[in-house]
Each structure stands twice: as structure tokens, then as C-alpha cells.
Amino acid sequence: MPSIFWIPYLALSQSCLEEVKALRHHPLAPWTFLAVPLILYGIWVIYPTFATFFLAFTDWDGFSSLADARRVGFANFERLFNDSTFWKAVTNNLKWIAVFITIPTTLGLALALVLNTDIKFDRFLKISYYLPMVLAFVVIGLIWSWIYHPAQGLINSTLAGFLGLLKNLGFAVDPDSARRIGWLAKPDLVLWSVIGAAVWRQVGYVMILYLAGLKTVDPALIDAAKVDGAEKWNLFRFVVFPLLAPITTIVVVISIIDSLRAFDLVWVMTRGGPFHSSEVLANFMYLEAFNNYSMGYAAAIGVILFLISLGFIATYMWRIVKEEEA
Amino acid sequence: MSQAIDLPRTVTREQKIRRVQWAVIVVWIGAILWLFPLAGALVTSLRSQEDISANGFWSIPQTLSLNNYQEAWGQAGISNYLGNSFIITLPALFGMLFLSSMSAYALIRFRFRLSRFFYFMFLAGMLLPFQILMLPVFRLSNQLGVYDTYWALILFHTAFQLGFCTFVLRNFMRTIPVSLFESAVIDGAGEFTIYRRIGLPLVVPALAALATLEFTWVFNDYLWALVLVSRNELKPVTTGLSTLFGQYINNWPLIVSGSLLATVPTLIVFFALQRYFIGGLTMGATKG
């Protein structure tokens, strides 16, 4: 910019400066910075989001030209609502959410509260809990598949060893019975086994978020409450926990969004089986799209997944907007 | 008076110490339990399949060797898969950080009507259950002729992560005092110079945090690798591992060795840049 343009600035008061600042820029200036990111984002994220809605009303098979696909109206959705696998997947996603917003959240908060005090080796302890976060879901899935292995896996071997000990002590137990527990084979057990592996990863994440939140808590408030005679539990219940409320909102929303996104672990460990008993929406969608080539039907599942998430995405964004205005 | 206050306080302090110690013991037990799966995997990877199936997991290992790692690295192709992961991750990482720093700069530096709309668009995209993009992205990659090439993954990761990166960088850049930009303008600097000399250098901590976090995310991605790349020689380590799992079914020591090898790069990044990693994770959730 030629220097002659900034001479008038010097004469202006601070309040006028603001106004001029807005006018000063060439109207195209923001676009030179935004053009490439926006184009990329538009092509690979915004357009696909809307395209899914379009595909959901067709019977596209993924290979023939989309122009040849028939518009089928709400047929995909009608079929979906009458599909027992779909309802199984929805129920499983809800179970996943129920576990995720309770167990890792409570454990993570409790760990953060303890690790926030000065204790020895706190770095080692923190690392032990959040190390699983660094692993790829595939790696977690494979390692846990091994842990759950019926005959040789870590869990059943340990159980069998324990039962063997009891047998030696004279109890009438059969150590080999432990080797028959099919953690990933029994329909009423499999989902919980997969969620167990996911919880193993999630606890450290929640702990990190709460540790960051605890750092923002003003120690003076805690001291004031202590002077007022607040006991440990009351201090937590009436002072610390309310102060952590914003973090708790984020943790709950993130947990729900993560539960709805769950795919990798299910695909690696069970493919949704046996007999769809560990099916979740994302896995169901993938199966329909790339195993059955019913892209239209899969898109309808995607639309439902989107609609379920919408409320939680809105909650998160609402919080950001409020912060923005504060 | 002072006695009446002091007495109960000393009692509660003692109680507190005792209670904290119990909590610490529980946390230690938990930590050991949490490390157990990894420790078990490590021990398994050093043993042979015959040894484990004959004697069980809790037997004293007959031999310990790195044979499984050797086989996973060479014959099973983990070395190729890892190479592919780097070829995909590094350009995507560079692309997303560069582009998002530009868009973040535009969003805080200029006042224009759509600025806030774009901000929320990036934010919404980062929260999306990304599976809903799966089918159109698959179709798009075919139409653009990048399906089953590195480019499909590089382009998609770059674009998709722009949401999170722009969100974080914009919030970080907002903390730069406006007067800094203004004085650069007075010195006659053009917008691109201001971006390069002031905007970028001041967000280096945020860039470092994003880089560590995004490296882990892109490196560990599974779904998009599954959808966009099918040729075995192009697979990144995640889908490569699931291929290996299919080939060596029931050779658990080998599968586990491969899994641990696949984790080494992210582990190195994590331990070297741990502070940034943790910082990055919390950036989205707490202010700044």
C-alpha cells in the first residue's frame, strides 16, 4: 500500500480509526486469503453434505451413472423404518451414548481431581491413562480382539488361572469354562465388549479436558469456600463442579458426537456381527454402501445419522456463540 | 477463640491427607490396569504363536525374539504401509496448516458480512458425523480421477481438517492486539506481508499444537483410507494392518507386532511434543 494512504490516519482519533479500518481494505482482500480454503472446503465437505441428502432419495448403486438412478421419493426411508437392523443399530448407538456420557466422564473427572493435586509421579500416571488416545482405532481394535480371544486371550487366560487357583483350593470349579466365554461371539455380550475397548481410549481424553478445566478454576474461590468450612464433598458439589460446568457440557457433547461416529472399532472387531448384534449406524451405512452397493439406502442412513447429531452440534455451537458474545 | 477454629481444621487436614492417599492408591491401580493391554501386547509380540497356543498366555515364555517384528516389517509389508502413511500425512498436514492459517487470518483481519458465517461453517463441519460425507466423497474422487491414488486422501484430509484448524487458529489469532496489525499497515506493509510477518509467527504455538494433533489424526485415519484407496501398494498403515489381519488370521503375535510397529511414529511424535499434543486437545474445548 502506498504510504500516502496512511497519512490521514495519524490525524484521526481512535474511534474513527475503527471505522476507517473497515473501509480501508480493498473489498477483494479477504477473498485472496479465503479463495483456496473455501473452494477446497466447498468441494470436499459442504457439497458432499448436501449431496448425501440428494442421494438418499435415489436408488443409485454406486457404479452406474447417477443420471440413470431413479428418484424413489421416501422409499429408502420407508424401508429403513421397517428394517430391524436399522433399529438394532439405533439402539446400539444409544447404548453407546449412555455408556460414554456416564462411565468415561465420571472416571475422567475423578482422575483429573486426584491428579490435579500434587502427587508424586503424576506425569507417569497421566501418560498411562492417555496413552491409548495416541493409538489408531485399528490398533486398539486388533489389540482388544486379542485380549478378548476366547482360548488364549488375556482376559480368559487370567480368569482360567484364577479358577485354577480356586480349584486347587478345593472349590468345585472348571478352569476351562473361562476359556469358553466368547466376548466377541455372544450376541448379548459383543456390543459391551466393543464399547469396553472404546472406553479404554476415552477416559484419558476426558481426563485431559477436565485437567485443563481445573487449571482455569480460581484457587481463591476454593480457599474462600474452605474458610467458610466447606467439606471435601461439599466443596466439590457446590464449588468445583459448578465451576467446571462449561467443560462438562463440552465433554458430554463430544462424547455423544464420538459415539455417533463410532465405526473403526466395530468394523475391525466384529463388522457389526454376529447377526448385526453389534451393529451401529455408521457401520450399517458402510455395509449397505460398499458391501451391498445400495448407495441410496446408505445415504438415507447417513441422513438419519446427521439428523440425530444435529441437536448436539447445535448445542456445541450455541455455547461457542455465547462465548463469542461474552 | 483461635483454639476453637484451629482444632477442627487440623482434624480435617489429617482426614484429607488420609483420603487423598486412598485416592492415589486407586489411581495407581487404575494406571497399571490401563497399561495392561499394551504390556500384554508387548509380551505377546515377543513370543511365538506355538508357544502361546501350547502353554497359554500366563506361562513363562519359552523364547523371546524379535522375529515377529521382522516378519511384520518385511514380509507382511508394514514398512511399505508406513511409508504410504507418511506420503499421505505430511503433505496433508502442510496443506491444512497453510490454508487454515490463511482463512483464519482473513476471518479476524477483515470485516466483511460473511466472516461470521464462514466461521460457523468451518465449526459445523468439524462437528459433523463425517460418515455422511462418505458416498459423495467416494463419487467425487472417481469423477476427479483421484480415486485409488494418494491424492484422494491428501486432498480430502486437507479439506476436511480445515474446519478444526481454522477454528483453532482463528481463536488464537484473535488474541493478537489489533494495534500490531495497524502499526504494520502504517509501516506500509501489504496484507500478505502482515500475514507472513505478524499473523503466522505469533500463532506458532497453536500451529505446533495443531500439527502434533493432526499428524496423529490423519496418520491414524481408517475410514477414508478404506473408502478412497483399494490398491494394496498404496494403503496407509491402518488399512494395511487390517489386510495383514486377514492374511495372518490367528497368528496373533504377528498381528500384534504389526499393530505396535504402526504405532511407533505417533508415539514418537506424542512423546517428543507431548505438551503441544495436550494443548491442542484442549484448545477446542477451553478458550484460547
Residue A111, domain CATH = 1.10.3720.10
Name which of A111, A128, A120 is nearest A210 in CA terms. A111
Q: Is residue A92 classed exposed, middle or buried when 0-12, 13-18 and 19+ CB atoms within 10 A define those classes?
A: buried
Does the beta carbon of B72 lie under 8 angstroms from any beta carbon of chain A? no
Residue ranges making up the domain that contains B12: 2-46
Of A29, A37, A257, the CB nearest to B110: A29
Does residue B15 have a pLDDT over 80? no
Cell of B225: 483410507
Within the 168-187 window of chain B, which residues sit less than 8 Å (CB to CB) from chain A?
178, 182, 185-186
Cβ pair A52:B133 closer than 8 A? yes
Rounded CA Rg of chain B: 25
Residues 92-121 of B with CB under 8 A from A: 99-100, 102-103, 105-107, 109-112, 115, 118, 120-121
Report the domain count for chain B: 2
Q: Check CB contact under 8 Å for B220 and A138.
A: yes
- Domain co-membership, B41 together with B177: no
What spatial distance separates the first Cα and last Cα of chain B, rounded to whole Å?
Answer: 47
Provide the pLDDT confidence category of residue B6 given band limits of 50, 70 and 90: very low
- Is there a contact between A204 and A129 (Cβ–Cβ < 8 Å)? yes
Q: What is the pLDDT of residue A177?
A: 82
Instruction: Spell out which residues of chain A touch residue B134, defining contact as CB-CB under 8 Å.
Output: 285-286, 289, 298, 302
| CA gap A128, B16 in Å, rounded | 25
Q: Computed from CA positions of residues B82, B85, B89, B91, in that sequence, does the dihedral angle turn out positive or negative?
A: positive
A206 part of a folded domain? yes
CB neighbour list of residue B261: distance below 8 Å, 6 or more residues apart: B69, B72, B73, B78, B82
Q: Is A17 contained in some domain?
A: no
φ, ψ of residue B113 to 5 degrees: the values are -60, -35
Reported as a pLDDT band with limits 50, 70 and 90, residue A77 is: very high
Contact assignment for A34 to B118 by CB distance below 8 Å:
yes
Sign of CA dihedral A7, A12, A15, A19: negative
Q: Are residues B90 and B150 in the same domain?
A: yes
Read off φ and ψ for residue A41, nearest 5 degrees: -65, -40
CB-based contacts of A251: which residues, under 8 Å, 6+ apart? Answer: A105, A108, A206, A209, A210, B285
Which residue in chain B is spatially nearest to A298 when comparing CA positions?
B135
Reported as a pLDDT band with limits 50, 70 and 90, residue B50 is confident
Chain B residues with CB-CB distance to A2 below 8 A: 188
Are the Cβ atoms of A47 and B136 closer than 8 angstroms?
A: yes
> What mean pLDDT comes out for the span A37-56?
93
Residue B203: give its domain's CATH number. 1.10.3720.10
As given in the structure block, the three cell numbers for residue A164 are: 485354577
Torsional sign, CA A138, A140, A146, A148: negative
Who has greater pLDDT, B190 or A204?
Answer: A204
Residues of B in contact with A21 (CB under 8 A): 111, 178, 182
Total domain count, chain A: 1
Phi-psi region of B145 (alpha: psi -120 to 50; beta: other; left: phi over 0): left
pLDDT digits (tens, 9 = 90+) for A128-162: 998 999 999 999 999 999 999 988 888 888 888 88
**Residue in chain B nearest A2 by alpha carbon:** B188
pLDDT of residue B159: 95
Confidence of residue A94 (pLDDT cuts 50, 70, 90): very high
pLDDT, one tens digit per residue, over B247-281 is 888 888 999 999 999 999 999 998 888 878 777 77
The distance of Cα B180 from the centroid of its chain, to the nearest Å, equals 33
Say what the pLDDT of residue B138 is: 93
Q: Does a structural domain hold residue A67?
A: yes
Using an 8 Å Cβ cutoff, are A269 and A115 in contact?
Answer: no
The angle at the Cα of A161, spanning A158 to A165, to the nearest 5 degrees, equals 140
- Tell me: do B104 and B17 sit in the same domain: no
Q: Which of A112-116, A205-209, B89-93 has the highest mean pLDDT?
A: B89-93
**Percent of chain A at pLDDT above 90?**
48
Q: Provide mean pLDDT across the span A297-322.
A: 88
Residue B20 has what pLDDT? 59
Residue A69 placed within a domain: yes
Instruction: Write down the pLDDT at residue A24.
Output: 52
Is residue A16 domain-resident? no
A24 belongs to a structural domain: no
pLDDT at position A215, please?
A: 85
- Which helix H or strand E contains A18, and what residues bound it? helix A14-24
pLDDT of residue B112: 80
For B53, the closest of A3, A152, A213 (CB atoms) is: A152
Complex ipTM: 0.88
Joined grid coordinates for residue A144: 482388544
pLDDT computed for residue A7 by the predictor: 31
Instruction: Quote the percentage of chain B above a pLDDT of 90.
Output: 45
The residue of B33, B81, B123, B135 whose CB has the most chain A CBs within 10 angstroms, and thus the best one to mutate to test that interface, is B135
The C-alpha cell 494433533 sits at B213
Is residue B193 located within the same domain as residue B138?
yes
B208: in domain: yes
Number of Cβ pairs < 8 A linking chain A and chain B: 296
Q: Tell me what pLDDT residue B1 has.
A: 40
CA atoms within 13 A on the CB side of A228: 11
Check pLDDT > 90 for residue A84: yes
C-alpha cell at B116: 461470521
Which residues, including other chains, have CB under 8 Å from residue A29's CB and lie 6 or more apart?
B106, B110, B191
Q: Confirm whether A176 is domain-assigned.
A: no
What is the distance of C-alpha A157 from the center of its chain? 31
Indicate the pLDDT class of residue A326, thresholds 50, 70 and 90.
low
How far is C-alpha A204 from the geometric centre of its chain's CA atoms?
A: 13
Across the range B39-64, mean pLDDT stands at 83
B156 and B234 belong to one structural domain: yes
pLDDT in tens, A111-137: 998 898 878 888 899 999 989 999 999
**Greatest mean pLDDT among A167-176, A286-295, B45-54, B175-184:** A286-295
Average pLDDT over residues B221-225: 95
Place of cell 476471518: B107
Is B86 part of any domain?
Answer: yes
Q: Indicate whether B36 and B79 sit together in one domain.
A: no
Backbone angles phi, psi at A58, to 5 degrees: -125, 175
A34/B135 Cβ within 8 A: no
Q: Are residues B8 and B140 in the same domain?
A: no
B73 and B149 belong to one structural domain: yes
Flag whether pLDDT at B109 surpasses 50: yes
Contacts B139 to A, Cβ<8 Å? 51, 62, 66
In a domain, B147, yes or no: yes
Nearest CB among B237, B242, B285 relative to A250 is that of B285
CB-CB neighbors (< 8 A) of A302 in chain B: 131-132, 134-135
Is position B90 within any domain? Answer: yes
**Do residue A40 and residue B112 have CB atoms under 8 angstroms apart?**
no
Domain presence at residue B114: yes
The domain of A300 spans: 56-115+200-325
- pLDDT above 60: residue A199: yes
Same domain, B119 and B34: no
For chain B, the average pLDDT equals: 86
pTM across the whole model? 0.87
Judged by phi (left if over 0) then psi (alpha if -120 to 50, else beta), residue A99 lies in alpha
Indicate the helix (H) or strand (E) that contains A324: helix A295-325
Q: Does A12 reside within a domain?
A: no
- pLDDT of residue A190 exceeding 90: yes
Which residues are within 8 A (CB) of A195 and not within 5 positions of it... i.e. 6 or more apart?
A95, A96, A99, A100
Q: Using the beta-carbon criterion (under 8 Å), do A111 and B27 form an inter-chain contact? A: yes
| Same domain? B223 vs B150 | yes
Chain A neighbors of B124, CB-CB under 8 A: 313, 317
Provide the pLDDT for residue B7.
45
**Residues near A254 by beta carbon (within 8 Å), at least 6 away in sequence:** A205, A209, B285
Nearest CB to A264 within list B128, B222, B281: B222
Assess whether B158 and B253 both reside in one domain. yes
Q: Say what the pLDDT of residue A15 is.
A: 44
A147: nearest CB among B40, B245, B282: B40
Q: CA torsion sign, A81 to A86 to A92 to A94?
A: negative
User: Under an 8 A CB cutoff, do A317 and B124 touch?
Assistant: yes
Question: pLDDT band at B17, cuts 50/70/90?
Answer: low
Angle between helices B2-46 and B252-272 (to 10 degrees): 130
pLDDT band at residue B14, thresholds of 50, 70 and 90? low
Q: What would you measure as the largest C-alpha separation in chain B, in angstroms?
A: 84
Report the share of chain B in percent with pLDDT over 70.
Answer: 91
| H-type alpha helices, B187-251 | 191-194, 200-202, 204-220, 223-228, 237-247
- B231 touches A at CB < 8 Å: no
pLDDT score of A6: 35
- Interface contact flag, B220 A137, Cβ < 8 Å: yes
Measure the CA–CA gap between B132 and A165, rounded to whole angstroms: 51
Residue contact B182–A46, C-beta within 8 A: no
Please check whether residue B268 touches A, CB under 8 A. Answer: no
Q: What is the mean pLDDT of residues B17-35?
A: 84
Looking at the structure, tell me whether residues B31 and B75 fall in a common domain.
no
Residue of B nearest to A205 (CA): B281
Residues of A in contact with B135 (CB under 8 A): 48, 51-52, 55, 62, 289, 295, 298-299, 302
Q: Do B129 and A282 touch (CB under 8 A)?
A: yes
Distance from the B106 Cα atom to the nearest Cα atom in chain A, whole angstroms = 5
- Please provide residue A269's backbone torsions phi and psi, each rounded to the nearest 5 degrees: -85, -40
Residue A19 has pLDDT above 50, yes or no: no
pLDDT value at position A16?
45
| Residue listed under C-alpha cell 451413472 | A65
Q: What is the pLDDT of residues B140-159, one digit of tens each?
A: 999 999 999 999 999 999 99
- Position B82 scores a pLDDT of 95
Angle at A204 between CA A199 and CA A208, to 5 degrees: 140
Contacts of B166 in chain A (CB under 8 A): 37
